[in-house]
Amino acid sequence: GAGVSQSPRYKVAKRGQDVALRCDPISGHVSLFWYQQALGQGPEFLTYFQNEAQLDKSGLPSDRFFAERPEGSVSTLKIQRTQQEDSAVYLCASSGRTESSYEQYFGPGTRLTVT
């Protein structure tokens, strides 16, 4: 079946522009996660949704970052007034979450470059 998909795969933005990154999770997965991965680092947790509810947004680095999942499926991560330090790969993951499994399935990521 289809995995997690993300679009666009690459995005170049000028400093100060707003960007929107899309994530389509695996069909039926109730949990959706966003991570930020800087060059040479592991992914860093940003936020988590269970269905349409955003249950944890403790990793969002500033109020310029906003995520939504209005119908409990597709999610959008929006970054306002982008800064150079926002340049990173943004990974989306989804999980079906049985009681015994925490496996998260990752999408290919969106590579954001802010110039």
Options 1, 28, 42, 70; binder of other proteins; rule CB under 8 A: 42
Sign of CA dihedral 110, 35, 31, 97: positive
Helix/strand/coil (H/E/C) assignment for every residue in 26-88: CCCCCEEEEEEECCCCCCEEEEEEECCEEEECCCCCCCCEEEECCCCCCEEEEECCCCHHHCE
Options 19, 109, 110, 112; binder of other proteins; rule CB under 8 A: 109
72-91 positions binding other proteins, by CB under 8 A? 91
CB of 16 to other proteins, least distance (A): 27
Nearer to other proteins, 31 or 76 (CB): 31
92: helix, strand or coil: strand
**Residues within the interface to other proteins (CB under 8 A):** 31, 33, 35, 40-45, 48, 55-56, 91, 95, 97, 102-104, 106-109
